[in-house]
Structure 1
Amino acid sequence: MSVSRETLLNCLDAYVHPLIGRGLVAAGAVREAQPEKDHVRVHVELGFPAAGIRETLLAELAAHVGRSLGVDAALALSWRVEAVGLRKNLQALPGVRNLIAVSSGKGGVGKSTVAANLALALAAEGARVGVLDADIYGPSQPQMLGLAGQRPDSPDGKRMHPLQAYGLQVMSIGFLVDDDQPMIWRGPMATQALNQLLGETIWDDLDYLVVDMPPGTGDIQLTLSQRMPVAGAIIVTTPQDIALLDARKGLQMFRRVEIPVLGIVENMAWHVCSQCGHHEAIFGEGGGARMAAQYGSELLGQLPLELRIREQADRGKPTVAAEPDSELAQRYRDIARLAAARLAYGLPANVFPSIEISDD
């Protein structure tokens, strides 16, 4: 039984994947839709990397077409990451399509570990990814990604090639100073250092540059937010009230400078005993979800406080690289995939930012 192309397109648009939030046709994801004599041929192209759900999505779509049209489907799935939301008066960073800022209101919530693993997760999903360590005063990515003590090459004495780790392109102030050298710099000096790292690094065709932000809402955060084409931000917090208080400030800062907040990651949501596997919410429960609901954002996912996460980062091989098939690595990949989908297709229809009116 053959079907018309219009019928096929209507069928495809009736398939709504939760990561896309609308029909495939409405999302512009149908690259080819061709009825044949006894089957249909369809090529879907997503706006975010999706290696981890490729087979599941294809199976679901084939079943949907079979139920709706009564024909077999020859399906192909690919993805192409485009630059999103370049704000006016800001130029794109050469070699980078999207900057994603990973931020926290306070230190000690595991932001840098989350940033490293999310970058690795995006790469595992099929994207070209870089990491910029923007924590000028306390760079940690060189140690976490096994690059401590290495130095970048310069082709002309002015620009630098990023270092490579586990398929990531990486740049940090930690590559340019000694490990035990403190950064005794005032704000403008730190800001200048960040501008140099961003502008003088030769990034090579990145889908995403994950920026590990310093904690707080100071000079570096404002410089990056106002002068660089940040496509979206991810807020990392723990469930405890004091961390949530500071995380809210970070979220509101991004909104004030019109950078979309892709969602919230609740780190250390529970502790896993290394001896018996018992789970205990030692920092409280539900804080990330409450914050997301209060501020019209989305809880991207929760991560445990687990000994091996810290051990792997200290050894220079974060969880997604050290145990790519583990349940923990899958959690990071789920979060990364969801954040990338939100960047590509926007927030779901039931999530709206709160509107503030002030006299400023």
Structure 2
Amino acid sequence: MNEIKHIIAIASGKGGVGKSTTAANLALALQARGAQVGLLDADIYGPSQQLMLGVAEGVRPEQQGGQFLLPIKAHGLRTMSMGYLVTEKTPMVWRGPMAGGALAQMLEQTLWGPLDYLIIDMPPGTGDVQLTLSQKASLAGAIIVTTPQDIALLDAQKGIEMFRKVDVPILGIVENMAIHVCSNCGHQEHIFGENGGEQIAAEYGVPLLASLPLDRGIREQMDAGQPTVMAQPNSPVTALYLQMADKIRAVLVQEGDDGVRQFPNIQISDD
């Protein structure tokens, strides 16, 4: 893990807001900008990156030394997911500590190699997996994904507060499904509400990294294992993901390029 420069958690307070879609496309956008990128699917109970990245069912990571796992390459990304270790029909009937332990193993026992960014697709909520991650690695920051509707914004606030309590900086807010454009007439409609992402970003003093549309094409591409950034590199939606990547890179460059610390620095004084 000392070869990883920045670990970024993609989180949400609730499910169904497009967090995994955002994580996959952001990872590919950072890669398109020339970075070496890894993607860890930390949603232990409902891993989805295997499908979204088009990795065939039954593909398993190779082992090295009987202890370490080699990441699986997908669209140039180095990836690891619980979906590679179990079948699609295997339910993870685990208590919280077991899920946290699984995350720790995938994080620490995967031979990631040198990476500029490791994107972690977090499970929804504020539970054991989030706490385990904050203890096991020094995060460069977290990105909160939400939709504009009030109930999603309430859960997003809980996610922000949780990361603040464990001293993880919030890099910004991503507002997903912000607007729908009719494919027939071009009429624009805010189905889930308007300006919710801007409001929560202003309330917490963090940037709004992107406001993404509700687009059927995004869903179809992810289901087909071809994320939008790969399937339509010149589309307006891809441009939004690339802009998001640029904003994140600019923030992290200001913070320096030191490698990730697995343990806190200990200072001893005579006081």
CA-CA distance at 1:148 after TM superposition: 3.6
State whether residues 106 and 216 of structure 1, in contact with CA within 8 Å, keep that contact through their aligned partners in structure 2.
Answer: yes
* 2:21 is equivalent to residue 113 of structure 1: yes
CA-CA distance at 1:344 after TM superposition: 2.0
How far apart are the structure 1 equivalents of 2:17 and 2:215? Answer: 13
CA-CA distance at 1:224 after TM superposition: 0.5
How far apart are the structure 1 equivalents of 2:234 and 2:253? Answer: 26
TM-score, normalisation: structure 2: 0.92
Of residues 319, 324, 336, the one that matches 2:233 is 324
Of residues 86, 105, 114, the one that matches 1:177 is 86
Partner of 1:140: 48
How far apart are the structure 2 equivalents of 1:95 and 1:204? Answer: 6
Partner of 1:305: 214
CA-CA distance at 1:204 after TM superposition: 1.7
State whether residues 104 and 136 of structure 2, in contact with CA within 8 Å, keep that contact through their aligned partners in structure 1.
Answer: no
TM-score, normalisation: structure 1: 0.69
CA-CA distance at 1:190 after TM superposition: 0.6
Partner of 2:158: 249
Query: In structure 2, what residue type is equivalent to 1:249?
Result: K
* 2:129 is equivalent to residue 220 of structure 1: yes
Identity %: 61
Helix, strand or coil for the counterpart of 1:202? coil
User: 1:201-216, aligned counterparts within 5 Å?
Assistant: 201-216=110-125
How far apart are the structure 2 equivalents of 1:230 and 1:212? Answer: 13
Helix, strand or coil for the counterpart of 1:258? coil
How far apart are the structure 2 equivalents of 1:279 and 1:342? Answer: 32
- The gaps in structure 2 that reach 5 residues or longer are 256-271
Partner of 1:273: 182
Query: In structure 1, what residue type is equivalent to 2:242?
Result: R
Compare relative contact order (CA 8 Å, sep 6+) and give the higher one, 1 or 2: 2
State whether residues 94 and 203 of structure 1, in contact with CA within 8 Å, keep that contact through their aligned partners in structure 2.
Answer: no
Partner of 1:288: 197
* Bigger shift: residues 337-346 or 139-148: 337-346
Partner of 1:128: 36
State whether residues 132 and 171 of structure 1, in contact with CA within 8 Å, keep that contact through their aligned partners in structure 2.
Answer: yes
Query: In structure 2, what residue type is equivalent to 1:117?
Result: N
Task: Count how many residue pairs are aligned between Structure 1 and Structure 2.
Answer: 254
Which is greater in Rg? 1
Partner of 1:315: 224
**Which consecutive aligned stretches of 4+ in structure 1 deviate over 3 angstroms post-superposition?**
none
Of residues 337, 343, 354, the one that matches 2:252 is 343
Partner of 1:71: none
CA-CA distance at 1:166 after TM superposition: 1.1
Helix, strand or coil for the counterpart of 2:68? coil
Helix, strand or coil for the counterpart of 1:211? strand
How far apart are the structure 2 equivalents of 1:241 and 1:340? Answer: 30
Query: In structure 1, what residue type is equivalent to 2:61?
Result: P
CA-CA distance at 1:132 after TM superposition: 0.2
- The gaps in structure 1 that reach 5 residues or longer are 1-92, 347-360
* 2:135 is equivalent to residue 260 of structure 1: no
State whether residues 274 and 307 of structure 1, in contact with CA within 8 Å, keep that contact through their aligned partners in structure 2.
Answer: no
How far apart are the structure 2 equivalents of 1:162 and 1:272? Answer: 38
Query: In structure 2, what residue type is equivalent to 1:147?
Result: V
Helix, strand or coil for the counterpart of 1:230? coil
How far apart are the structure 2 equivalents of 1:154 and 1:274? Answer: 47
Partner of 1:97: 5
CA-CA distance at 1:253 after TM superposition: 1.0
